[in-house]
Amino acid sequence: MNTLLPNGFSDLEQFAEWALPTSTDRNRKRRASSMDAINAFYNAMRPRLEQILAYLDQFSLQEMPQDAQRLLFLSLSLAEVTIAVELFHEPKVTGGCDPERFVVAREITP
Amino acid sequence: MKTVMADRRWIKEHPDLGTGPVPTDTCTSPKLFELERERIFRRTWLNLGREEDLPEPGNYVVRELSVANASVLLVRGKDRKVRAFHNICVHRGNRLVDGEKGVCKGRFVCRFHSWAYDTSGQLTWVSDEANFYDIDKSALGLKPIAADIWEGFIFINLDPNPSETLAEYMAGMVQQIHGYPFGQQRLLCRYRVEERANWKVILDAQNEVYHLPFLHITYPDFCPMNEHKFSRIQKFTRFGRHTVYSVELNTDHKMKPVESIAITANPRGGQVHPSMIGWFDFYTVFPNFCMLFLAGTYVTYNIWPLAVDRSIWEVSMYQPATDKPSERFAQEYSRCLLRDLLQEDASNHEAIQASLMSGALSHFQLQDEEIQIRHFHKEVRRHIFGEENGAAAIGNSREAAELRLK
């Protein structure tokens, strides 16, 4: 069986669905998720974050093995859900406009 | 701490801005919007992005400036110079280039009759040329638009004879910002948000920090605050038409867990450059361009009017160029945070506009921490009415009085 994430991070594989390559997709995933699901992801990732970043920093953004890139995407999803967890305590921006109206005109990838 | 917490501080330095309420009419009147088109947007220097948007010779960008009824073609020539033209074939006026951006492989060809132009705007081919009467291709290039570059930002001026050069127009900002390492930053993302709000309603909402602890209640301690928990800016400076307000770092800001890791992971993002006044400097470059320097990162807003009550808010976030995953994570955190806070602002802009359109509110009430807005509206009125002193800008406007009589 192919492992989705690098060795040592297999406990995070249950969250593989958060490994999304674009900001728009990560934002949609956050808004489509329950706060319980978001908290479960945040609580699993947060204690591992420094370790994850140290692992990822062995590579350059442009030249990463696929499993490391998935881990990077997971960390970018953590950045996305952190706002829901640490600020709004709900998936959406309380009192915000429809997020789909913030149309991405350009962005760097990954 | 450098920030002075005293009340009513800025008006002492800028008594010409007055203390009275400011008319709302320029946010609702179609007639005044027409004046803004002619007297502001067709006569001032307008930012259309950065040089990096056109990295190589032949790269072009087309911008539809509906506020000036103009389609603008920006292109980098073989000599690497960036030029601006009206995106119009001089034969019979067809739009020359379709699409937002691209690479010109040699010539721009009009699809109507195949007239062709090179990247310097010269007319190089006229189909069936011998059948025209005394045509002189060398005198018939694309219609040029004044264009110039300041610190990598591309500006155009639709006035055929601009009364000031771009450097003159930017005034003291040139010296203030000189040396900022724009070249070490890269565009992280750009959002385009179409809103049912006047362009100034959008700009005004960003042009103060008074609202931060209230509207952005989940992130309330961005700015230093006085003993009553009201925000105070560190400095307010005017450069001709333009202004900057500066905010000191709030060392009492309470970091959340992931926020704290993100801040640590992006050390260059936290470095304040010597050209900065505070830890956060917000420049309003008249009329519709804002530059926000946030320690080692910056953000720009270009707010493009579509109609008196509709605009496009373009938000571009720049961060230190990096190939390092941990920095990329930290930058993504900053992006998500700012985007979400701006979504709170956006819903507010539309609520304000809807209220103003009722006609029930003739004036805004502004306090000392909103002095930038006072300056900005004074400049808008000076441009559209030619009012030279502050009194006319803050009192009852003649235009408003006339409109009420109708």
Q: What is the pLDDT of residues B89-119, one digit of tens each?
A: 999 999 999 999 999 999 999 999 999 999 9
pLDDT band at B229; cut points 50, 70, 90: very high
Cβ B301 vs Cβ B278: under 8 Å: no
pLDDT in tens, B155-169: 999 999 999 999 999
Cβ B295 vs Cβ B279: under 8 Å: yes
pLDDT in tens, B188-208: 999 999 999 999 999 999 999
pLDDT in tens, B127-180: 999 999 999 999 999 999 999 999 999 999 999 999 999 999 999 999 999 999
Using a CB-CB distance cutoff of 8 angstroms, which residues of chain B are in contact with residue A93? 340, 343-344
Using CB atoms, pick whichever of B256, B328, B347 lies closest to residue A96: B347
Give the 3-state secondary structure of residue A86.
helix
Using a CB-CB distance cutoff of 8 angstroms, which residues of chain A are in contact with residue B336? 23, 27, 79-80, 82-83
* Least confident among A62-66, B205-209, B225-229, B394-398: B394-398
List CB contacts of B209: < 8 A, sequence separation 6 or more. Answer: B222, B223, B231, B233, B245, B247, B369
pLDDT band at B314; cut points 50, 70, 90: very high
Cβ separation A61–B328 shorter than 8 A: yes
As a whole number, mean pLDDT of residues B220-247 equals 95
As a whole number, mean pLDDT of residues B218-231 equals 92
Q: Does residue A92 sit at the B interface (CB-CB below 8 Å)?
A: no
What the block records as the tokens of B342 is 């701006």
Give the 3-state secondary structure of residue B349.
helix
Q: Please, what is the average pLDDT of chain A?
A: 96
Dihedral in degrees, nearest 10, Cα atoms B371, B372, B376, B381: 0
- Separation in Å, CA of B44 to nearest CA in chain A: 26
Task: Give me the pLDDT at residue B397, please.
Answer: 55
Name which CATH class applies to B45-166: mainly beta
Cβ separation B340–A93 shorter than 8 A: yes
Q: To the nearest 5 percent, what fractions of chain A are helix, strand and coil? A: 60, 5, 35
Give the single-character DSSP code of B241.
T
pLDDT in tens, B13-29: 999 999 999 999 999 99
A interface test, pick of B258, B301, B352 with most A CB neighbours within 10 Å: B258
Q: To the nearest 5 percent, what fractions of chain B are helix, strand and coil? A: 35, 25, 40
Name which CATH class applies to B10-24+179-405: alpha beta
Cβ separation A108–B186 shorter than 8 A: yes
Model confidence at B406: pLDDT above 50: no
Q: Which residue of A has its CA nearest to B316?
A: A106
Task: Give me the pLDDT at residue B387, please.
Answer: 64
Model confidence at B401: pLDDT above 60: no
Cβ separation A102–B343 shorter than 8 A: yes
Task: Give me the pLDDT at residue B14, please.
Answer: 97
As a whole number, mean pLDDT of residues A85-107 equals 96
Dihedral in degrees, nearest 10, Cα atoms B271, B273, B278, B281: -100
Model confidence at B331: pLDDT above 70: yes
Q: Please, what is the average pLDDT of chain B?
A: 94
Cβ separation A49–B261 shorter than 8 A: yes
Cβ separation B332–A97 shorter than 8 A: no
Residue type, B352: I
* Spatial strand order in the sheet of B153-157: B45-50, B153-157, B144-150, B82-86, B70-76, B59-65, B101-103
Q: What is the Rg, in whole angstroms, of the alpha carbon atoms belonging to chain A?
A: 14
Task: Give me the pLDDT at residue B371, please.
Answer: 97
Cβ separation A57–B324 shorter than 8 A: yes
Dihedral in degrees, nearest 10, Cα atoms B4, B7, B13, B15: 170
Residue listed under structure tokens 């994570």? B329
Using CB atoms, pick whichever of A56, A59, A86 lies closest to residue B258: A86
Cβ B84 vs Cβ B158: under 8 Å: no
- % of chain B exceeding 90 in pLDDT: 92
Using a CB-CB distance cutoff of 8 angstroms, which residues of chain A are in contact with residue B339? 102
Using CB atoms, pick whichever of B258, B315, B344 lies closest to residue A93: B344
pLDDT in tens, A52-85: 999 999 999 999 999 999 999 999 999 999 999 9
Task: Give me the pLDDT at residue B1, please.
Answer: 86
Model confidence at B389: pLDDT above 70: no
Using a CB-CB distance cutoff of 8 angstroms, which residues of chain B are in contact with residue A101? 193-195, 346
- Separation in Å, CA of A51 to nearest CA in chain B: 10
Question: Does pTM surpass 0.90?
Answer: yes
What residue ranges of chain B are covered by domains with CATH 2.102.10.10? 45-166
What residue ranges of chain B are covered by domains with CATH 3.90.380.10? 10-24+179-405
Task: Give me the pLDDT at residue B394, please.
Answer: 42
Cβ separation A61–B342 shorter than 8 A: no
User: What ipTM was predicted for this assembly?
Assistant: 0.98
* Least confident among B21-35, B247-261, B314-328: B247-261
Cβ separation A75–B259 shorter than 8 A: no
Model confidence at B321: pLDDT above 70: yes
